[in-house]
Amino acid sequence: MKMSKILDEIKSPQDLKRLTVKNLSQLAREIRALILEVVSKNGGHLSPNLGVVELTLGLHYVFDAPRDKIVWDVGHQCYTHKIITGRKEKFSTLRQYDGLYGFPCREESEYDIYNTGHASTALSIALGMAVARNKKKENYQVVAVVGDGSLTGGVAWEALNQIGHLREKLIIVLNYNEMSISPNVGALSKYLSYLVSGQHYLRIKDHVKTILKAIPAVGWPMIKVGRAVEEAVKKIFFPGLFFKELGIRYIGPIQGHSIGSLIEVFKEAKTYDGPVLIHCVTQKGRGYRPAQDNPSAYHSASPFEIKTGEIKNQDKRHTYSMVFGQTVVNIAKEDKKVVAITAAMLEGTGLKLFSTQFPDRFFDVGIAEQHAVDFAAGLALNGFKPVVAIYSTFLQRAYDQLYHDVCLMDIPIVFALDRSGIVPDDGPTHQGINDIIYLRHLPNMIVMAPKDENELQHMIKSALSYPHPAAIRFPKGKGYGVLMDDIFKQIPLGKSELLKEGKDLLLAFGSMVYPSLDVAQRLEQEGISLAVVNARFAQPLDEELILRFAKPGRAIVTAEEAVTAGGFGGGVREFLDREERFDIRFKSIGLPLAIYPMGKVKQIKKMLRLDEEGLFDQIQEFYKSSDTVT
């Protein structure tokens, strides 16, 4: 077999088992080259995947998937897993419309046993599978692959507590690379760093006992006296004692790029009856110097030039995240009560600049959204002004805290919901299309969305002045390139903005404002007169303006980049019903309640008729319906 052709011969994990360790090392290099080639064209999670190539090969060499269950936490490190489980030929379609998902997908392959895109869930899932296996008296291995960043999430510790209690046969592979997306923070990260930098696992206690027992008369007394001393020093000599005390056997640290060591340890772990944790040390971005040097930048990379690492076709317009970050910095310069909080998303949320300029007022809590919200509440109750930046799809993990711990007490906190609306490339788990639904009905919660990046900065300033919790949702990606005001303006609470006069009303929210304005201009040529209003608020609504247009025989259309059931349009309809305005025509345009595919924003909007052409057609069809009064 030619070394350069090893990957061509791999059709399934079974093909790995006939390879030597040397062959596997060559295969790892070929897989890295393939990952680099595809991600440089399509974009994707580069650093985490380059870091787990050997680990993945070792797992599939030792375990017998899909009979043995491998559960990937987060799942953004599953590219090697996909390549060697029959999806190599389709790997070039990674993160493309109708292509391979960048996360595990049960609909894609029997080797993907659980769909995941959020962190900290694998331990709970794996324990459930292990318990089910034993109750059914079946015989297979369950393996959870968990990053050290995922252990900052509370649900992971709830699972560890139960794992230690039940003592079911379960293998936990802890992939330690000191990173989530940003560098990991907190006491746990320091502890794991201590384990890696300290002594390797030594069975010193057993050796000492053996020697002392051989000493006549004095051996056992020395052992008894020594137990007190042992408690004081065993943390130094026994890495992983914390896990051991939980009832979980600890093995490590293990060099995560040594396939031979990994295979040996995985085989050993299979022989244990109870839970075992294997602590593997890997390097994020391994094999590609730019990703090794700057793993955060290449965690989720845009298409780039392999030779230089430079991003292709860079758009010079500011992203909404950049505008958000700069605005919070500008406000914090004048107001020392402003603090910023994020959940392991320092760069993604645009708070890097804030963390540099105000390190004593910046807090990265790790992948712990629930804690982030309650932590902010504690700060707000003592006079500070917290700005909590969490992606739309991740904030829903803290729903109970939003309701019980913030809204019921009307605590003023600003929530910045980046990645709201349709999110490209990452698939269903990352779509920020339900935030209006889960926020709008919470008591005291203000829900806002800017029409552009300039209005975003005014909303942030305004939200910090409102005496209530306020959520600002904005999309991933570039703004419109509009002129930016130097002085921030106060937006009156619950007041919209009339952009175009007309007979009927087109009430647009957030990213749908400019498309609605363009469509309304075109519809004038069709004899349809629509006033266009930038709603600004989904809660509270501008009721006065809505009632001005809610006259008998008139029509009201709403537009939002979110699910309409329970969303912005639903809120407008509910208000009209409360006011008994049943004699108007009403249409809500947005997203139906469904699971949305992976693809670019333009592709998904076109498919859902939410692009400008689709919006034009939907409104025109609405007016052409026989019972519409024009």
Write out the catalytic residue numbers. 284, 369, 397
Q: What are phi and psi of 219, to 5 degrees?
A: -60, -55
Give Cβ neighbours of residue 363 (< 8 Å, ≥ 6 apart).
339, 340, 341, 342, 375
The token pair that represents 313 in the structure block: 């076709």
Give Cβ neighbours of residue 268 (< 8 Å, ≥ 6 apart).
251
User: Do residues 218 and 226 touch, judged by C-beta distance below 8 A?
Assistant: no
What is the rounded distance in angstroms from the CA atom of residue 347 to the CA atom of residue 300? 11
Burial 23-45 (b: 16+ CB within 10 A, else e): bbbbbbebbbebbbebbbebbbb
The token pair that represents 146 in the structure block: 């968990």
Report the relative pairing of strands 504-508 and 530-534 from DSSP bridges: parallel
Q: What are phi and psi of 406, to 5 degrees?
A: -120, -60
Report which secondary-structure segment, H or E, holds 267. Answer: helix 259-270
DSSP 607: H
- Cα dihedral 495, 499, 502, 507 sign: negative
Burial of 382 (0-12, 13-18, 19+ CB in 10 A): exposed
**Can you list the positions of beta strands (E) in 206-258?**
249-255
User: For residue 310, what are the CA distances in angstroms to 291, 298, 313?
Assistant: 11, 11, 9
DSSP 609: T
| Alpha helix stretches (DSSP H) within 153-203 | 154-166, 187-197
What is the rounded distance in angstroms from the CA atom of residue 242 to the CA atom of residue 606? 52
- Residues β-bridged to residue 311: 304
Give Cβ neighbours of residue 184 (< 8 Å, ≥ 6 apart).
148, 149, 152, 178, 344, 366
User: Do residues 127 and 156 touch, judged by C-beta distance below 8 A?
Assistant: no
Give Cβ neighbours of residue 195 (< 8 Å, ≥ 6 apart).
239, 240, 252, 253, 279
